[in-house]
Amino acid sequence: MKKLIVAIFFVFPLLFVACDKSEDETPTATPYNLVIPEGLPPMNIPSTNPLTVEGVALGKRLFYDPILSGDNTQSCASCHLQEYGFTDPNQFSTGIDGIQGERNAMPLINLGWQTKFFWDGGANGMESQVMGPITNPIEMHETMANAVAKLNGHLEYPELFKAAFGSSQVTSQNIMRAIAQFERTLISGNSKYDQYMRGEVLLTAQELNGKALFEDMDKGDCVHCHSTGSTFSDFEFRNTGLDSIPVDEGRFRITLNESDKGKFKTPSLRNVELTGPYMHDGRFQTLLECVEHYNTGFHYSANLDPNLYFAVKGRMTQQEMEDIVAFLKTLTDMEFVNNPAFH
Amino acid sequence: MKQFALFLIVLCTIVISSCRKDLDTKCKSYTRVTVTNLLGAEQFHLDSTYTNAAGEDYRAYMLKYYLSHMALVNENGERVELYAHELIDQSVPSSLELGDVTIPDGHYTSLEFNLGVDSLHNHSGDQGGDLDPMYGMIWTWNTGYIFFKHEGYFSSSTSGTEQPLIYHYGTDRALAPISIPLELHADRNASVINLQFDLNKLYSNPNTIAFTGNNNHQSLSTSDIPWINALRANFPNAFSGSAFVFLQE
């Protein structure tokens, strides 16, 4: 009995010590003060991944670190360049093995308001999206298992993960969460348009006319999908009549619904002046070509968006199209593309 | 060492007697599930050559699958969930031994589980444990888990040459609920449930799946749907199980 008591005395303190230790290993990271510019709606951030100063900083470092690619030569930033609104000025990006994809890199702007990612919406959340480019054989061509192993063996990363997530054990989940945290901070809300909406500046007569045409259902009718106000996207999937028989089946690849053939996500128009070339396949070089496509260039098919189906071809004059382009350029936010917090 | 043994005996006595003393509250038993991949009567091995029901020789270098929400069901139809999501990987012996769990005493008559990942968990890679994307069981461009992965080679019945076989089975429509009958009297005891999966039955019962001309399925095209439906119908017949008590208090 005496021995039992001795044993209990030994075991109990050990339990308590072990307990205390695990609590020490979970320091709380500092909440990140995300400033949502006036005019933009509140951002829906998953409760499982609140933004922290340490998490955002880690995500930024990972975003710019080629360690996440198979041969350590490319980072997320290789194809998402800040000066172009975090997209690639090339029609198609080239991966680590020298292979080009078939879709234009998407800009990373105000992603926190989106719920589905990639042109076809194949990723259901910002965290899940992170895996796509890392593991795609024609992009960064790495496995999540290798990425985790490389970061765990790195001199600095385990400490950074501990600061951000409470554990120095790097996991794929925390890689995804850190990069998603950084991406949620990539907010653009100080373009000339925003300043105009806040009553700080005036738009020119041409820009104002472009805005009216953008919103006019009988003219540009851009607003149906590129909702004015703040997001400049309805985040839906639309067939915009790029081809009567789509080469790339788009959203269909994900849902296998016939009605989704040739549909792609409506991209936001923020910083659109900088994010060319345009469309999912980067087929248009200029904004005027895009507007002209919606004026006369679109092709009819069973899945053509109803708003275009009912639109009259040639309904805009050259001047009107140029006015719309002038308005689109008011969405350029130089503070965003030069923001030192993002690079 | 002797002292430690004594300590254990005393501790066990305390635990067991406390259970006896309080017969009104439910006493507990222990169980664990062990998974064995089979080919007929033989144990399945990676890289060994087998013959399927269609008469094609084949070998696999990879065999992995998810079992989710595995539960024992008692004679009153009450479920006791044992495990949430378990990745079975033939190349990782520890993945075949699912952990010890405590269960309320009772008479259990079946084991229920899904082959695959339920739709609540199937659309986000932001998960840990066995659902960690690190295990390569997820489509990263179309978020969803690969429920079952068989990769290897087979001899084509038309050309006679060896060709690659890639079967990646998944998507919500592929989730296969499975219930297998067993007898387990949990009465302050410890038991093992042997769960067996027969790969040849998966490719034959009731739908015969021949590999020739049918050797690349990734579940994400409309052309994969008949193949998914055939396998989903076969999965419940590929599993069998039995329980035995190995330690009775």
Band (pLDDT 50/70/90 cuts) for residue B248 is confident
Mutation target to probe the A interface, by most A beta carbons within 10 A, among B9, B121, B131, B140 is B140
Beta carbons of A154 and A175 less than 8 angstroms apart: no
Q: How far is B106 from chain A (nearest CA, A)?
A: 33
pTM of the model: 0.88
Q: Given this model, what pLDDT does residue A229 score? A: 78
Structure confidence by residue, pLDDT tens digits, B70-86? 999 999 999 999 999 99
Q: Given this model, what pLDDT does residue B17 score? A: 45
Q: Do B133 and A48 touch (CB under 8 A)?
A: no
Q: Given this model, what pLDDT does residue B27 score? A: 80
Beta carbons of B36 and B74 less than 8 angstroms apart: no
| Predicted-complex ipTM score | 0.85
% of chain B exceeding 70 in pLDDT: 90
Q: Given this model, what pLDDT does residue A2 score? A: 46
Q: Is a pLDDT exceeding 90 seen at residue B26?
A: no
Query: In chain A, what residues touch B127 (CB-CB under 8 Å)?
Result: 173
Q: Do B136 and A176 touch (CB under 8 A)?
A: no
Token digits of residue A6: 């001795």
Beta carbons of A152 and A74 less than 8 angstroms apart: no
Mutation target to probe the A interface, by most A beta carbons within 10 A, among B8, B123, B135, B141 is B141
The mean pLDDT values, 10 residues at a time, for chain A of 343 residues are 44 41 61 94 95 98 98 98 97 96 96 96 96 97 98 98 98 98 97 96 98 96 90 94 96 96 97 98 98 97 95 97 98 97 95
Band (pLDDT 50/70/90 cuts) for residue B249 is confident
SS (H, E, C) B101-135: EEEECEEEEEEEEEECCCCCCCCCCCCCHHHCHHH
Structure confidence by residue, pLDDT tens digits, B153-168? 999 989 889 999 999 9
Task: Kindly state the helix (H) or strand (E) to which residue A290 belongs, with its residue range.
Answer: helix A287-292
> How far is Cα A39 from Cα A36, in angstroms, rounded to an integer?
8
Beta carbons of A69 and A140 less than 8 angstroms apart: yes
- Tell me which residue in B125, B126, B136 faces A143 most closely, judged by beta carbons: B136
Helices (H) and strands (E) in chain A, counts: 13, 2
Closest CA to A81 of A281, A271, A329, A287: A271
Query: In chain A, what residues touch B133 (CB-CB under 8 Å)?
Result: 131, 144, 172-173, 176
Q: Do A144 and B136 touch (CB under 8 A)?
A: yes
- C-alpha torsion angle, residues A183, A185, A188, A190 (rounded to 10): -170
Mean pLDDT is lowest, of A229-238, A271-280, B58-67, B184-193, for A229-238
Token digits of residue A335: 């503070």
Q: Given this model, what pLDDT does residue B177 score? A: 98
Q: Do A3 and B125 touch (CB under 8 A)?
A: no
The two most distant CA atoms of chain A are separated, in Å, by 99
Beta carbons of B168 and B228 less than 8 angstroms apart: no
> How far is Cα A99 from Cα A92, in angstroms, rounded to an integer?
10
Q: Is a pLDDT exceeding 80 seen at residue B20?
A: no
Single-letter code of the amino acid located at A294: Y
In Å, how far from its chain's centre is CA B44? Answer: 14
As annotated, the active-site residues of A are 139
Chain position carrying tokens 């234009």? A104
